[in-house]
Amino acid sequence: MTIDGCRSLIARCHFCGRLREFELNLFEVMKGDRIEYICKCGEIVASVKGTNRVVEVEATCFNCGDRHIYNLDLPTIFKDKTMLYCIHGDRLCFIGSKEAGKNLLGELDTGIDDKDENGEMDYFNNFKIFSRILGILYSMKLENKIYCDCGHEDINIELFFR
Protein backbone atom coordinates (compact mmCIF):
# COMPACT_ATOMS: atom_id res chain seq x y z
CA MET A 1 0.00 0.00 0.00
CA THR A 2 1.30 3.44 -0.92
CA ILE A 3 0.59 6.54 1.13
CA ASP A 4 0.57 9.90 -0.59
CA GLY A 5 2.13 12.15 2.04
CA CYS A 6 1.87 15.33 -0.02
CA ARG A 7 -1.06 17.62 0.63
CA SER A 8 -1.95 21.02 -0.70
CA LEU A 9 -1.93 23.96 1.73
CA ILE A 10 -3.72 27.07 0.45
CA ALA A 11 -3.73 30.29 2.47
CA ARG A 12 -3.92 34.04 1.92
CA CYS A 13 -1.03 36.20 3.09
CA HIS A 14 -2.17 38.48 5.90
CA PHE A 15 0.20 41.22 4.73
CA CYS A 16 -0.15 41.49 0.94
CA GLY A 17 -3.31 39.44 0.37
CA ARG A 18 -1.83 36.99 -2.15
CA LEU A 19 -3.53 33.61 -2.26
CA ARG A 20 -0.76 31.00 -2.26
CA GLU A 21 -0.65 27.25 -2.68
CA PHE A 22 2.12 25.32 -0.94
CA GLU A 23 3.07 21.65 -0.91
CA LEU A 24 2.66 20.16 2.55
CA ASN A 25 4.88 17.06 2.85
CA LEU A 26 3.60 15.12 5.85
CA PHE A 27 6.75 13.01 6.08
CA GLU A 28 8.79 16.20 6.60
CA VAL A 29 6.19 17.70 8.94
CA MET A 30 6.11 14.67 11.23
CA LYS A 31 9.86 14.90 11.88
CA GLY A 32 9.01 17.47 14.56
CA ASP A 33 10.61 20.57 13.08
CA ARG A 34 8.43 23.61 12.43
CA ILE A 35 8.11 24.29 8.70
CA GLU A 36 7.32 27.85 7.63
CA TYR A 37 5.51 28.68 4.40
CA ILE A 38 6.58 32.10 3.18
CA CYS A 39 4.80 34.44 0.76
CA LYS A 40 6.59 36.18 -2.11
CA CYS A 41 6.42 39.40 -0.05
CA GLY A 42 8.51 37.73 2.69
CA GLU A 43 5.81 37.28 5.35
CA ILE A 44 5.13 33.90 6.94
CA VAL A 45 1.75 32.73 5.66
CA ALA A 46 1.57 29.60 7.82
CA SER A 47 3.74 27.29 9.86
CA VAL A 48 3.22 23.60 10.48
CA LYS A 49 4.70 21.22 13.04
CA GLY A 50 3.92 17.56 13.62
CA THR A 51 4.28 15.62 16.88
CA ASN A 52 2.68 12.43 18.20
CA ARG A 53 0.20 11.97 15.33
CA VAL A 54 -0.99 15.57 15.67
CA VAL A 55 -0.24 18.36 13.20
CA GLU A 56 -0.19 21.91 14.55
CA VAL A 57 -1.15 24.50 11.92
CA GLU A 58 -0.50 28.14 12.77
CA ALA A 59 -1.60 30.95 10.44
CA THR A 60 -2.29 34.67 10.64
CA CYS A 61 -5.76 35.56 9.42
CA PHE A 62 -6.04 37.94 6.47
CA ASN A 63 -9.41 39.24 7.66
CA CYS A 64 -9.03 39.73 11.43
CA GLY A 65 -5.21 39.89 11.70
CA ASP A 66 -5.05 37.42 14.61
CA ARG A 67 -2.80 34.37 14.71
CA HIS A 68 -4.85 31.14 14.83
CA ILE A 69 -3.52 27.76 15.96
CA TYR A 70 -5.18 24.44 15.13
CA ASN A 71 -4.22 20.93 16.24
CA LEU A 72 -5.33 18.38 13.65
CA ASP A 73 -5.14 14.61 13.88
CA LEU A 74 -3.78 12.63 10.93
CA PRO A 75 -7.19 11.35 9.71
CA THR A 76 -8.30 14.99 9.38
CA ILE A 77 -5.13 15.87 7.46
CA PHE A 78 -5.64 12.93 5.09
CA LYS A 79 -9.19 14.01 4.21
CA ASP A 80 -9.69 15.21 0.66
CA LYS A 81 -10.79 18.66 1.84
CA THR A 82 -10.18 20.28 5.22
CA MET A 83 -11.05 23.96 5.55
CA LEU A 84 -9.89 25.82 8.65
CA TYR A 85 -11.91 28.85 9.72
CA CYS A 86 -11.22 32.00 11.70
CA ILE A 87 -13.17 32.37 14.94
CA HIS A 88 -15.19 35.05 13.11
CA GLY A 89 -16.28 32.54 10.45
CA ASP A 90 -13.91 33.53 7.65
CA ARG A 91 -11.91 30.95 5.74
CA LEU A 92 -8.34 30.81 7.02
CA CYS A 93 -6.68 28.03 5.04
CA PHE A 94 -7.28 24.79 3.18
CA ILE A 95 -5.48 21.48 3.57
CA GLY A 96 -6.32 18.63 1.23
CA SER A 97 -5.49 16.74 -1.91
CA LYS A 98 -3.77 18.57 -4.74
CA GLU A 99 -6.76 17.94 -7.01
CA ALA A 100 -9.21 19.39 -4.47
CA GLY A 101 -6.82 22.31 -3.98
CA LYS A 102 -6.77 23.11 -7.69
CA ASN A 103 -10.57 22.94 -7.81
CA LEU A 104 -10.79 25.24 -4.82
CA LEU A 105 -8.39 27.76 -6.35
CA GLY A 106 -10.52 27.82 -9.48
CA GLU A 107 -13.74 28.62 -7.64
CA LEU A 108 -12.44 30.48 -4.59
CA ASP A 109 -13.76 33.94 -4.00
CA THR A 110 -11.75 36.52 -2.11
CA GLY A 111 -13.43 35.99 1.27
CA ILE A 112 -14.24 39.68 1.39
CA ASP A 113 -17.80 40.73 0.58
CA ASP A 114 -18.23 42.20 -2.90
CA LYS A 115 -21.25 44.33 -1.97
CA ASP A 116 -22.07 46.66 0.86
CA GLU A 117 -25.29 46.68 2.90
CA ASN A 118 -27.23 48.39 0.08
CA GLY A 119 -26.21 45.82 -2.53
CA GLU A 120 -23.79 48.23 -4.21
CA MET A 121 -20.22 47.34 -5.11
CA ASP A 122 -17.94 48.33 -2.26
CA TYR A 123 -14.85 49.68 -4.02
CA PHE A 124 -12.98 50.29 -0.78
CA ASN A 125 -13.36 46.82 0.78
CA ASN A 126 -13.45 44.63 -2.33
CA PHE A 127 -10.13 42.85 -2.67
CA LYS A 128 -10.58 42.03 -6.37
CA ILE A 129 -10.96 45.69 -7.23
CA PHE A 130 -8.17 46.71 -4.87
CA SER A 131 -5.73 44.17 -6.35
CA ARG A 132 -6.64 45.22 -9.90
CA ILE A 133 -5.92 48.85 -9.00
CA LEU A 134 -2.54 47.88 -7.54
CA GLY A 135 -1.76 45.92 -10.72
CA ILE A 136 -2.56 48.92 -12.90
CA LEU A 137 -0.44 51.23 -10.74
CA TYR A 138 2.46 48.75 -10.88
CA SER A 139 2.20 48.53 -14.71
CA MET A 140 2.13 52.31 -14.96
CA LYS A 141 5.24 52.53 -12.78
CA LEU A 142 7.09 50.00 -14.98
CA GLU A 143 6.16 52.02 -18.08
CA ASN A 144 7.34 55.27 -16.40
CA LYS A 145 3.84 56.75 -16.63
CA ILE A 146 3.90 57.89 -13.02
CA TYR A 147 6.01 61.00 -12.55
CA CYS A 148 6.18 64.24 -10.65
CA ASP A 149 6.46 67.71 -12.18
CA CYS A 150 9.31 68.47 -9.78
CA GLY A 151 11.53 65.94 -11.58
CA HIS A 152 11.91 63.33 -8.84
CA GLU A 153 11.74 59.81 -10.23
CA ASP A 154 11.45 58.00 -6.90
CA ILE A 155 7.72 58.18 -6.17
CA ASN A 156 6.04 56.26 -3.36
CA ILE A 157 2.36 55.41 -3.37
CA GLU A 158 0.77 55.21 0.06
CA LEU A 159 -2.69 53.76 0.58
CA PHE A 160 -4.75 54.45 3.66
CA PHE A 161 -7.75 52.50 4.90
CA ARG A 162 -10.53 53.67 7.14
> pLDDT tens-digit profile of 117-161?
544 444 455 666 677 777 788 778 778 777 777 777 677 766 665
The answer on pLDDT for 83 being more than 90 is yes
Q: Per-domain residue ranges for the chain?
A: 6-107, 112-162
Q: How confident is the model at residue 1 (pLDDT cuts 50, 70, 90)?
A: low
Per-position b or e across 62-100, b if 16+ CB within 10 A of its CB: beeeeebebebeeeebbeeebebebeeeebbbbbbbeeb
b/e sequence 24-40, b meaning 16+ C-beta within 10 Å: bebeebbeeeebebebe
- Report pLDDT digits (tens) over 100-113: 888 887 766 444 44
Q: What is the CA radius of gyration of the chain?
A: 19
**Among 33, 37, 55, 34, which Cα is nearest to 46's?**
37
The residues, ordered by sequence, that sit 6+ positions from 102 with a Cβ below 8 Å of its Cβ are 8
Nearest to 19 by CA among 76, 59, 77: 59
Dihedral sign of CA atoms 20, 23, 26, 27 in order: negative
